Structure 1
Amino acid sequence: MKDFRLYAITGEEFHKGRSLVEVMEEAIIGGVDIIQLRDKKSSKKVVLEKAKQLKALAEKYDIPLIVNDHIDVALAVDADGIHIGQDDLPLEEARKIVGKDKIIGISTHQIEEAREAQKNGADYIGVGPIFATKSKEDVVDPVTTKYIEEVVNEITIPFVAIGGIKLHNVEQVLNSGATRICAISEIVGSDDVTKTCQTFIQKINERVTNE
């Protein structure tokens, strides 16, 4: 998969009154270089329609579209990959379904899960939640930046830090060794989505350049 710096996940509850495509396009213009459709509540039909819209948007800007959980939807729209959690279909089984060319990302909350994901062929892992977050229900306790340091020291596949990351605390995450950031509410709930993403990118690039 192409490397990335800023990963945005949909969260329509944070931008009520504004369209999904409009907000995600503003994020891409601001520097987001991978997007994920995450919808745990809508009907399969509705999720499919959203996936079609985001697939067209992702193709317009030549960036990957990842679909959370809904493997059938991901395949139906020819998304670039899927993202699964620890309680979802095992990675090996998901790989059999989507094939070797699709991206598979998996959420991890401790180093043992990261090791397992790497061993089983994940293309990237989510590392978090770093801080407390209200963007997801039934989320585990914050893993803190200590988990980032463990991953940096041991895991070789790409990882993205996620969970409660805001502009005011992202330096803590970057200083722990992360070079890829994922955000939901801080991006899609922003009054100026493009500017918020540009600021995230600036902070990431400053950290990477200074390494």
Structure 2
Amino acid sequence: MNPYQLYLVTDDRQDLHTLKTVVAEAVAGGVTMVQLREKHNDVRTFIERALAVKEILQGSGVPLIINDRVDVALAVDADGVHLGQSDMPVALARRLIGQEKLLGLSIENKQQLIEAEFLPLDYLGLSAIFATPTKTNINREWGIAGLAAAVRQSALPIVAIGGINATNLDAISSTGVAGIALVSAICHAESPRAAATKLLLQRVNS
């Protein structure tokens, strides 16, 4: 199974109850991986929310990935870490988490894409495909053509993130990308479960 197929990235502005509801519903709807992203909370809160999400994912087979914080990932024994370009160096993170856990890295330009091929990574997160209100510090908008070129170039699985929804999902999928990462399209949907199911079906059929 491709664990990157439908990759949920959580919204840290949602309270704990909403977070748990969204994750539970999204997994029931077919999400294949969950990244807990906490940009505005302290470490204690991050750990509390990570443990709550981990409990929901227990027995589901859906990996829990922690955004940015290797210490939090180790504290809760998550399935992996996703790093940004300004976070802990990849080689050091790999030494700390070991070989068994997943390690991803956000890629924002072509030079980073080239350099990533020589790092001990499991996958890349290409950001941002399209401009999005959930990520305001965008260095590059890759677009469909840029994503397609990156997929051809990289030996690593690529997860596309940024402004992806039902209207552009077919074009995204046509590039052969390993996965799509979504925030608003699931977290802010009236029914996260129905949204995940519909997006996964569209993804599989596109």
Q: 1:112 to 1:93 in 2, by over 3 A?
A: same
Runs ≥4 residues deviating over 6 A:
none
Structure 1 gaps, min length 5: none
Matched, 1:119 2:139: no
Q: Distance in 2 between matches of 1:44 and 1:152?
A: 34
Deviations along 1:96-137, one digit per CA (max 9) or x if unpaired, are 221122111000122331232231111000012010011124
1:164 alignment partner in structure 2: 163
Verify: 1:190 aligned to 2:194, yes or no.
Answer: no
Shift of 1:29: 0.7
CA distance in 1, matches of 2:194, 2:117: 34
CA contact (8 A) 1:180 1:204 kept: no
CA distance in 2, matches of 1:118, 1:49: 34
State the 1:168 CA deviation.
1.2
| TM-score (normalizing by structure 1) | 0.91
Residue identity opposite 1:10 in structure 2: T
- State how far apart, in whole Å, the 2-side matches of 1:53 and 1:17 are: 8
- Give matches, 1:34-113, under 5 Å: 34-113=33-112
Shift of 1:16: 6.0
Q: Does structure 1 retain, via aligned residues, the 8 Å contact 2:12–2:39? A: no
**Seq. identity, %:** 33
Residues of 2 paired with 1:16 and 1:47: CA distance?
Answer: 12
SS of the equivalent of 1:39 reads coil
Give the distance between the partners of 1:43 and 1:179, measured in 2 at CA: 32
1:39 partner letter: E
Equivalent in the alignment of 1:24: 23
Q: Determine helix, strand or coil for the equivalent of 2:134.
A: coil
The answer on whether the counterparts of 2:10 and 2:37 sit within 8 Å (CA) in structure 1 is yes
Unaligned 5+ runs, structure 2: none
Following the alignment from structure 2 to structure 1, what is the Cα–Cα distance between the partners of residues 34 and 116? 21
Q: Which moved more, 1:41-50 or 1:90-99?
A: 90-99
Q: Whole-Å Cα distance in 2 between the matches of residues 12 and 25 of structure 1?
A: 16
- Kept in 1, the 8 Å contact 2:106–2:125? The answer is yes
